[in-house]
Structure 1
Amino acid sequence: MKFDKPVLGGPCWTELGTSDLDGAKRFYTELFGWRPETDPRPEAGGYTMARLGDAAVAALSPLYQESQPVAWNVSFAVADADAAARRVEEAGGVVLLGPMDVLDAGRFAVAADATGAVFQLWQARSFPGAGLFNAPGALGWVELATRHTVRAREFYTVLFGWSADASEWYTQWGIDGADFGGMADMADRFPPEVPPHWLPYFAVDDVDATAQVARRAGGAVLLAPTTVPDGPRIAVLRDPQGAAFGVHRAGAEG
């Protein structure tokens, strides 16, 4: 992405809900070199911050509800979570949880867009979001996969005011000329049971080597390393608990 800190309307954080917190800690530490720190407060519910150096780059947490899937979630920064939640519904989406306070860190809500893809809204207080983007092991891109690209474009341009630079096969999202993510048509590339979703991509020095490490650590490769025409080298991986995520070569953002 073409910015290096959280900006309003842009992706500011990503967190994993997992069925095996300790297993996820081991996997991502081996894969990205993360240093996991679990909040010891009972009210934090095992929420674990992943760091590179002193910078928070992502979070890992247990599943808090029986219906919650094992998956990565993407949060977008807003000035007012309550007002943004109202705009979600006005634009044709659904608010699934909140808005609610998260200790002193901020206020958040979970929503589904007009095509069914789930995402989060984050109103920062003491915690603004990721302290590092685009560096190896940090978030570098976010991608929406949906079967209704026109509806999704209308929803997000209304909700966040994003620009949408569309080619025949891909749309790039941007804020004030700075691209941070994209949208792909799921079409017949996904089984029908796979719902629309947001996928975080983490930057890495070597996509091929990262895919090999993921396999050795008990994960799987869903999309083998490939070079996008006029774009970066990427792969889509799955952790041992079943959560999918992408990786791309660092230095090729946007």
Structure 2
Amino acid sequence: MSTVAAGTPCWTDLATPDLEAARRFYPELFGWTGRIAPEPEAAGYTTFRKDGRAVAGAGPPAGPDQVPVWSTYVATDDADLVTVRVEAAGGQVLVTPFDVLDAGRMAVFADPAGAVFSVWQPMRMPGAELLDAPGAMCWNELVSPDPEGAKAFYELVFGWHPEDRPVTGYDHTGWRCGARIVAGMLTPPGDDPAAGRPAYWSVFFAVADVDAAAARATTLGGTVGTPPGDTPLGRLTTLHDPQGARFSLLQAGTGRAGRPS
């Protein structure tokens, strides 16, 4: 079982109005198995496993207006302290820290540009037990129209140090936490459809073959947002599951599938 260091993305889960559909789609796509939490207060929250190790979760939306979405959780030793830092840095506290049974303590925030993210303070559940391997989360990236504001915000909140990296046609930043690059940030150019939209965090899963996985997703009822292609991150594609939740696939063994140093 791995324990992810504080300041590092450690977990992802899906908020969806159709848990039954998610329990069919993602195991067929990634080879996951699912375990439904037995506690009534967990509302059917499902932990997905790959080769017996926890990799992601899925649960009902927080409210009737929440769109299906994959969320990024960053590990922390103190969710309450992060809350203070988020407020001081100009972010929003969407959900104040609370204990998730005996699994851990979490909170939900939005950065000044509107990108929503969560923190996870582990107790019984440390976060993902498998990362950077086929069928597991391998990268997390902020897409933001305000890179300078994001650099200031995340450095204050998590101590991340931004490192600008040239990418043809885009402004790309790596977030360094200690000795490692733990996540990234992409600023779309003005002619990109994402330009001017609210900021968001994207979740990437590693797969052995991006093209085959994208084709498989479409047969399962998903749709392709960005067709498979080679990028400085590696070969990737962006998909939507049958309920509309966006996620990306990154080919294992290429680019940054596996956070680089």
* Aligned position for 1:196: 199
C-alpha contact 1:5 1:133 (8 A) present in aligned 2 = no
Residue 153 (structure 1) aligned with residue 139 (structure 2): no
* Aligned position for 1:216: 219
For 1:69 and 1:99, the matched residues in 2 are separated by 22
* 1:43-64 superposed Cα distances (whole Å, 9 cap, x missing partner): 1111000001221000011113
**Partner secondary structure for residue 149 of structure 2:** helix
C-alpha contact 1:34 1:51 (8 A) present in aligned 2 = yes
For 1:64 and 1:161, the matched residues in 2 are separated by 29
For 2:91 and 2:195, the matched residues in 1 are separated by 21
* Aligned position for 1:244: 246
C-alpha contact 1:134 1:251 (8 A) present in aligned 2 = no
Write out aligned runs for 1:119-134 (5 A): 119-134=117-132
For 2:116 and 2:133, the matched residues in 1 are separated by 26
For 2:29 and 2:8, the matched residues in 1 are separated by 26
* 1:164-212 superposed Cα distances (whole Å, 9 cap, x missing partner): 1112421111222311221111344235784211011000000010110
* Residue identity in the other structure for 1:111: F
The alignment-based identity, stated in percent, is 44
How far has the Cα of 1:117 moved from its partner?
0.3
How far has the Cα of 1:5 moved from its partner?
4.5
Q: Return 5+ residue gaps in structure 2 as ranges.
A: none
**Judging changes above 3 Å, is the alpha-carbon distance between structure 1 residues 173 and 192 closer, same or farther for their aligned structure 2 residues?**
closer
* Residue identity in the other structure for 1:171: T
For 2:58 and 2:226, the matched residues in 1 are separated by 23
- Identify which of 195, 210, 213 aligns with 1:207: 210
**Partner secondary structure for residue 134 of structure 1:** coil
C-alpha contact 2:8 2:177 (8 A) present in aligned 1 = yes
For 1:106 and 1:29, the matched residues in 2 are separated by 25
C-alpha contact 2:78 2:121 (8 A) present in aligned 1 = yes
C-alpha contact 2:113 2:198 (8 A) present in aligned 1 = no
How far has the Cα of 1:98 moved from its partner?
1.6
* Aligned position for 2:164: 166
* Residue identity in the other structure for 2:175: W
How far has the Cα of 1:41 moved from its partner?
1.4
**Partner secondary structure for residue 170 of structure 1:** strand
Runs (4 or more) in structure 1 with deviation over 3 Å come to 191-194
Structure 2-normalised TM-score? 0.92
* Aligned position for 2:25: 27
**Partner secondary structure for residue 24 of structure 1:** helix
Moved more, 163-172 or 197-206: 163-172
* Residue identity in the other structure for 1:250: A
* 1:200-246 superposed Cα distances (whole Å, 9 cap, x missing partner): 100000001011001111101111111114x4111111100000001
For 2:206 and 2:177, the matched residues in 1 are separated by 20
CA RMSD of aligned residues (A): 1.5
For 1:186 and 1:210, the matched residues in 2 are separated by 25
* Residue identity in the other structure for 1:203: A
Structure 1-normalised TM-score? 0.94
For 1:200 and 1:64, the matched residues in 2 are separated by 19
Q: Return 5+ residue gaps in structure 1 as ranges.
A: none
* Aligned position for 1:179: 181
For 1:157 and 1:81, the matched residues in 2 are separated by 16
* Residue identity in the other structure for 2:248: G
* Residue identity in the other structure for 1:166: D
